[in-house]
Amino acid sequence: ETGVTQSPTHLIKTRGQQVTLRCSSQSGHNTVSWYQQALGQGPQFIFQYYREEENGRGNFPPRFSGLQFPNYSSELNVNALELDDSALYLCASSLVLAGGGEQFFGPGTRLTVL
Amino acid sequence: GESVGLHLPTLSVQEGDNSIINCAYSNSASDYFIWYKQESGKGPQFIIDIRSNMDKRQGQRVTVLLNKTVKHLSLQIAATQPGDSAVYFCAENQAGTALIFGKGTTLSVSS
């Protein structure tokens, strides 16, 4: 069974640029969630995708957007990067949609905005 | 607002001791809770979960207790080992979508 993978591992961008982060879900999982984890904090929910549609969104501005593909992999796009966007971005996949279920996390992408 | 938080940011124990990590939540409607372990440079790793229709659940060396009256849950680790050193988060699952995490407790185990 293949676990959740994310790419790239690390990324450095400058303020105002755009970035795309990628996630491959665990085999058999159809739901992907994205989280932002600032240094020393717990992960914060950005949004979730199920069957290629956004299914829930946290308190993040529209410049954070995403996609889910037919093979359930996903992308997180961030436009007009700000210094505060520097964080660890985590992707989590799960199988069940409703009623709560275990979410399996990838290793994350460390984004630094200069 | 609704939030999940932990009582102590750090906990230091000796190898072989039992560890207890606490978490308080504010949303009385919460019905599913998860404990995650996060090691440096890695994503959170599932430890154990519990639903609101239970008071206690046991795993291998870990036990989660849920007290709905005071909106409190705890994670007990028996015979703590150096490999248990990590940041521990409690999280609440809302409506099957968002995991709401607390700030975490850093567990340090000395041998």
Over chain B (111 residues), the average pLDDT of each successive run of 10 is 65 96 86 93 93 94 95 95 96 81 92 90
Mean pLDDT of A19-40: 93
More confident residue, B96 or A11: A11
First-to-last alpha carbon distance for chain B, in angstroms, is 40
* Nearest residue to A7 via CA among A63, A89, A95, A104: A89
Per-residue model confidence (pLDDT) at position A95: 82
Chain mean position to CA B22: 7
Tell whether B97 is within 8 A of chain A (Cβ): yes
Reported as a single tens digit per residue, the pLDDT across B32-64 is 899 999 999 899 999 999 999 999 999 999 999
The per-residue pLDDT for range A41-74, each reduced to its tens digit, is 999 999 999 989 998 999 999 999 999 999 989 9
> What is the spatial distance between Cα A16 and Cα A60, in angstroms, rounded to a whole number?
17
pLDDT for A8 equals 97
CA–CA gap between residue A102 and residue B58 (Å, rounded)? 16
Closest CA to B47 of B35, B64, B39: B35
Preferred mutation among A25, A45, A94, A95 to probe B, highest tally of B CBs within 10 A:
A45
A90 and A35 Cβ atoms separated by less than 8 Å? yes
Given this model, what pLDDT does residue B8 score? 81
pLDDT digits (tens, 9 = 90+) for A96-105: 655 556 889 9
- Nearest chain B Cα to A31, which residue? B97
Provide the mean pLDDT of chain A: 92
Percent of chain A having pLDDT more than 90?
77
Inter-chain CB proximity B99 and A45 less than 8 Å: yes
Token look-up 């041998």 returns B111
